[in-house]
Amino acid sequence: MIENQSDNIDNKENDISDQDNTPEEALSSEDPIIKNDDSSSQNTEEINTEELKNTISNNDARLEQLEKEHETLKSQYVRISADFDNFRKRQSRDQDDLKIQLISKALTAILPIVDNFERARQQLKPESEEAQALHRSYQGLYKQLVEVLKQQGVAPMRVVGQQFDPNLHEAVLRESSEELKEDFIIEELQRGYHLEGKVLRHALVKVSMGPGKQNSQEEVEKDTVEVDIDSEENTSEDV
């Protein structure tokens, strides 16, 4: 019995010693696993850092490319906008020019009627009451016609006493004048008109040659005739 008890005591001591040794062995066996985990986590962090750097680099390159595309599109937009604005202005000018051309064509056909009204007004001298009533009626029509022309932007030229301008006037006659210098307008033969600042019809005018121009010209012609006569007489004598 005593031996069995001693054996049991020895066995218990061995078990206790085994239990004491077990944690140390377990800890020693777990150290490589912990080291492996640390190295793997460090590798993972390095990989993530490299990927992040690559992502940032790619984003920077993409951003630079997008900025270049933005500048290109912006310059294209500015150019297209300027072209469209020029096109719109050109279309507006063309429409205005076409409108003026159409109005000018219509008004030019009306102006001879206005001329006839003015000639009739100068020639008619009503004496009887019936003629005066007719004259007043005619004057009313003439005023209405002139008012319509004004509403369309038509304005008559005032040329008498002005210097001759081929852009505005058309010289029909030239004669000497003691009152006006050379190239000044003596008389208006047919009235000219403006339309919106442009010439609708040139004025037909008589232009001054200056004082004494006509007499001097007649003297030159007389001298030329006398020279021709003298030459003819000399030729006949020689024969």
Domains of the chain, CATH where assigned: 154-239 (2.30.22.10)
Predicted pLDDT of residue 131: 73
Question: Contact at 8 Å (CB) between 121 and 213?
Answer: no
The answer, yes or no, to whether residue 60 has pLDDT greater than 60, is yes
Residues composing the chain: 239
The answer, yes or no, to whether residue 176 has pLDDT greater than 70, is yes
SS3 content of the chain, % helix, strand, coil (to 5): 70, 15, 15
Average pLDDT over residues 142-159: 90
Predicted pLDDT of residue 36: 56
The per-residue pLDDT of the chain, averaged, comes to 76
Side-chain-side CA neighbours of 168 within 13 Å: the count stands at 19
The answer, yes or no, to whether residue 62 has pLDDT greater than 50, is yes
The residue assigned the tokens 């009451």 is 129
Question: Contact at 8 Å (CB) between 208 and 185?
Answer: yes
The answer, yes or no, to whether residue 39 has pLDDT greater than 70, is no
Residue 35: pLDDT band by 50, 70, 90 thresholds?
low
As a whole-number percent, the residues of the chain with pLDDT over 70 amount to 69
Predicted pLDDT of residue 157: 92
pLDDT, tens only, 82-139: 999 999 999 998 988 888 888 888 888 989 988 888 888 777 777 777 777 877 888 8
Question: pTM of this prediction?
Answer: 0.53
Average pLDDT over residues 141-156: 89
> What is the separation of C-alpha 207 from the centre of its chain, rounded to a whole number of angstroms?
41
Question: Residues near 107 by Cβ (< 8 Å), separated by ≥ 6?
Answer: 149, 152, 154, 193, 195, 200
Highest mean pLDDT: which range of 43-47, 143-147, 217-221: 143-147
pLDDT, tens only, 199-230: 999 999 999 998 865 444 444 444 454 445 45
